[in-house]
Copies of this chain bind each other. A is one copy, B any other.
Amino acid sequence: MREALKEAMTAFGKDEVPVGCVIVSGSGIIARAHNLTETLNDPTAHAEMQAITAAAQVVGGKYLNDCTLYVTLEPCPMCAGALFWAQIGKIVYGAADPKRGFSLSGASLLHPKTIVESGVLAGESARLLQRFFRKKRS
């Protein structure tokens, strides 16, 4: 999650909503990304979406069953839907997203086999986001 936070900080430096993630397979990171919706002018360019695309190229297949995604913020329904298609093995997220988190949708959007862990470095992830939005408002 430390590596995902580094990605989030890179996003912060680019004036992007600071969310970062990495995808791990075995003991190594196979993909890393941060939110780039403003830079790319693309509403689909969330950190997770880019990382899924990159990881699929590394593993040479559409399915990421043996991979873990570490992401600083709870994924939104779009990203959860993509993680469903990728059949990701495990998701570890930091801060909860009370506005657009996937867990708000009653029916689970994730693959039934996906394991979810939350709250890892949640404070640091949330503080970075708060700093960003405070800066934006000022």
| Chain B residue with Cβ nearest A60 | B41
**Complex Cα spacing A79 to B82, Å:** 9
Q: This chain: how many copies in the complex?
A: 2
- Chain A interface residue count, Cβ-Cβ cutoff 8 angstroms: 31
Cβ of A43 < 8 Å from any Cβ of B? yes
B-contacting residues, A48-72, CB 8 Å: 49, 52-53, 56-57, 60-63
Whether A106 touches B109, Cβ cut-off 8 Å, given contacts A43-B62, A77-B84, A84-B78, is no
A37 CB contact (under 8 Å) in B62, B77, B84, B109: B62
Q: Per-residue 0/1 for A70-110: is the Cβ within 8 Å of any B Cβ (1 yes, 0 no)?
A: 00000011111110111000000000000000001111010
A44 CB contact (under 8 Å) in B63, B77, B82: B82
**Complex Cα spacing A5 to B57, Å:** 29
Q: Is the CB of B78 within 8 A of A82?
A: yes
Q: List 16 A-B contacts (CB under 8 A).
A: A37-B62, A38-B62, A41-B62, A42-B52, A42-B53, A42-B62, A43-B52, A43-B86, A44-B44, A44-B53, A76-B85, A77-B77, A77-B80, A78-B79, A78-B84, A80-B81
